[in-house]
Each structure stands twice: as C-alpha cells, then as structure tokens.
Structure 1
Amino acid sequence: MDRVFEEMEFLARSANRGDVLTLVAEAPHDRGALAAETGASQPTLGRILRDFEERDWVRATEAGYTATATGRLVAAGLTELSESLTAELHLREISGWLPADDLGFDLKRLGEATITTPTQTRPSAPISCVIELIETADRVRVFSHAFNEQTLAAVVEWVADGGQFEGVFSAAAIDAVAHETGLRGQLKQLYAAADATIRVIEDDIPLAVTVADDTVSLLLRDEQGRLQAAVDTDDSDVKTWATARHSDYWASARPLDETDLAGDT
C-alpha cells in the first residue's frame, strides 16, 4: 500500500503529469504538441517523460510518445478520479440531502447538473424551477411523496393548455391534498382532465422526481421535510433511471378514484 500512496503522491505533485499521461493515452503526441496543450516547458516535459518511461507508462514511437497498456490503465484511473472529484465538488453543498441508497445511477452523472437552492429573496426557488420545466414541456412524468400547492396549480393550468401529465404519488401525499378544500378542488380538476392520469401507491416514495420531456428534476429535502434544492439535468443515464423508476411505481400503483378525493366531506 505504501508504494501505491507513493505513486499517487508522485502524480499529485504536478498537474502536468496527469495532463501528459492523459494526452498520450488518448493519442501519440510529440513534445511540441504536449507543450502546446499543457503549457509545460520542455525541461519539465523531459523530466515527466523520463519518469514515465522508468515506470513503463509511456514509450517513444515514430508518431510520438504513446501510453503503454499500464499507462492507459493509470490514465483511466486519473480520469475517473477527476470526474468523481469534479462531481463531488459540484454537489458538496447539497450532499447531505442526497439519498445514499435511492439513486440508481452514478453520481458523476450529476457533475454538470443545475442546482437551485432557496434564498432569502426566493425561498421557493427550487419549486419555481420545477414549475418552469413543466410549463415548457409537452409531457411530464412525476413520482413523489408530496404534491405541493404551487406545483398542483401549475400542473392544472398546464394540462388545460394541452400538456400530458402522468403522476404517481404516495397515498399520504394525495390524502394531504384531499383534506385541503382549495387543493381538493384543483385535484378534482386534474382527475377529470383527459390528458392527466394520476396513480396512487400505498408505500412511501422517498424521492420527488419530475421528468419533463428530456430533463429530470430531483427535489431534495432535509430530515424535517424542508425543501433544500432542485437538481436538474438532461443526462441520458439519469433520464433512463428516472423513467424506469416511474414505470416501476406506475405498474405497482392503483388509479386515483373518487374515494381519494373525498377528504373530510
């Protein structure tokens, strides 16, 4: 293990080392090309390449320096680590609210996601972000443990304008809406709409996820249920996960019916 840490330290001491190894793993480069792409001086490149040749990570060819099989192995690990750390730094502010067990995709896929958090002037900014996505979409699929007032009102209006809505909600979420007179009326409008279908699942749904056309939005809450962030991405892997999870919930849920809308009446 000590030798592993020594090699990690060797690479970490100079950003140029990682850049050079990654470049020659992608394609042969001569020293001029490496200098142009990394900004390293020729003496620095000479030392780096000699160190790499001693480790048998690179070899000189007529086409330029190229990575060996083990050099490509190390370069791939560097790339993966770089992507992981890039994503971690991007998500660090909201890491405490990301579920540890309920995400069926690599967190690196959120490395370029748009993160919206509440502010003093815009405390409902995450919800507003989701509503904006809904209002510009043709088809929206949702699975969630909550159906808040702002989103419900926006969905009712959007469906009336021709949007297609397919929502799966926990029974607790539907019950909470049905027990509020004003919200119950909006839910009834949605229930009656031709382009809206709502299904109910008795089990808890740990995440609130919206798939608006090709964009996925995750609403993150703290342990007290307070909304902390919206995370939006058009990453294809995240969309594949979200649509598959929606399909699973949809298949195990039952249709919303009149008894769900009774509330206290």
Structure 2
Amino acid sequence: MLKKISIFLISLLVLSTSFSLAQELDGAEVLKRLEASRQAKSHQMLMEMELYSSSGDMRSRKLNNYRQEGEVDRSLMQFTEPADIEGTSFLLLDDQANDQEDMYLYLPALGGVRKISGSQKNGSFVGSDLTYNDISIFSGSNFSDNYRAEIISENEEIIELYLEIIDPDIDYSYGKMWVRKDLWLGEKIEYYNQQEELIKVINLSSYDEIDGNRLARKIEVKNVQKGSSTILKMLEVEFDPELDPNIFTTRYLQRQ
C-alpha cells in the first residue's frame, strides 16, 4: 500500500512539474529557445543566393559569411561570384550593451564604404528580396532584440507567434512566426505593412545540426506584392572557427 502511495505521489509531482513548465512557456521563452538552438560563438559559411524575378528569370550569386560574437557582435558578408558583384561586402557591427547597430556596404565600383542607416536599412540588400534589417536578423542577431512575441496558437508540433516590432528601424508593422517544437527553429515567417497587408513570406527548410548547432540550410523569401523571390542556400558551414577580428573593419573592406 505504501509503495502505491509513493508511486502516486511521484506521479503527481511529475504532472505538477510538467504543468508548471508548460505554464512558463510564453512568447519570450519561445524566442529564447530559438536563440539557444545555436550555441557557437563564431561561424563561417559558403552561401548561394538565387534571385528570381516575377517572370521567373534567375540570377545566381556566391558569397562568404563570417560571424563572431563578443562585446560587439560582428558579421561580414562578401560576394565572390559573378564578376559584376565580386568584392561587394556588407559589414554589421552590433553593440548591444550600448544599443548601437552599425551597417556598412562596400561597392568596388565606387571604391568606398557607405554607411547604411535609418530608413536605408529597410532597402533591398544588393537587389534581393531581403532588406538590410532582414540580413541582420538572419546573420545571427537575437530575435528578442527586434521583437516582442506573443503565442497565438499551439499544437503538439507548432507554436504560432505574433511578433510586435520593437526596433524602430524596422519598417514592418508586425509579423507572425511558426516555430517547430522538435527543433526550436522557425519554419515560416510572415511580415505585414501598416495597412495589415501581407508583404513578405519567409520559408525555412533543409534543417541540419552541426556540432550541436541547429540551422535551416535553405531560406526562401517571397515578395508577395512584387512576385519576386530570393533563395539563400548554406552550402558549407563551420561553427566556432578561428577568425581574425581585423576582417570585421571598414579598413579591411577597402583593402579587398
């Protein structure tokens, strides 16, 4: 009889703990779990970018992406192919402690570095369907720096979030995100304008795990209003490589 009572009490404790954990899961916690899916402090990637026009014409580009986290999170994207865009580089310096994010674009044809600021951050990133702000988020910035999340619905596999924009530099009115519970990775993101019209859909797929870091190797961005789309593919990925901090400087960009 004592054994049965003990088992019953243990069962109650487990159920109570599970219920408590479920109660603690809110939008902020979901964003934390998304951020925790990647623990590496640095990465380097070989990527392919495919640009599709509304008529279906496609242009392909290759680029390298480097990221290093620290007191200032640094990210660098350098295009290597084709020849007409080779050397074009984008540098992001995110000083979260001082709430300062600096973006720089180097165009070889102009031979100089241009700072991207204010409303320019919502402009097209080198002719793609991604904005500079989009690139900032997908290059590794924490979602919670840009959004406040609220759970809209939930089932055994997916959590749907409402994303309130808290970064004043982001031009979207609000967003929605669908998060996979088995991976704690985003599966789909929608962005809406001030008239509550859908303007952009982002689908993530080809999930992978490398050295304990989870990621989507394919990101497809559809501009609903223009009918164009951009696909990013992570061809080669290395986490926690040794990176020279000097590459994350405007001076380095001008030497390329």
Q: Shorter-chain TM-score category?
A: under 0.3
Where relative contact order (Cα < 8 A, 6+ residues apart) is larger, the structure is 2
Higher Rg of the two aligned structures = 1
* TM superposition score normalised by structure 2: 0.26
Structure with the bigger percentage of strand = 2
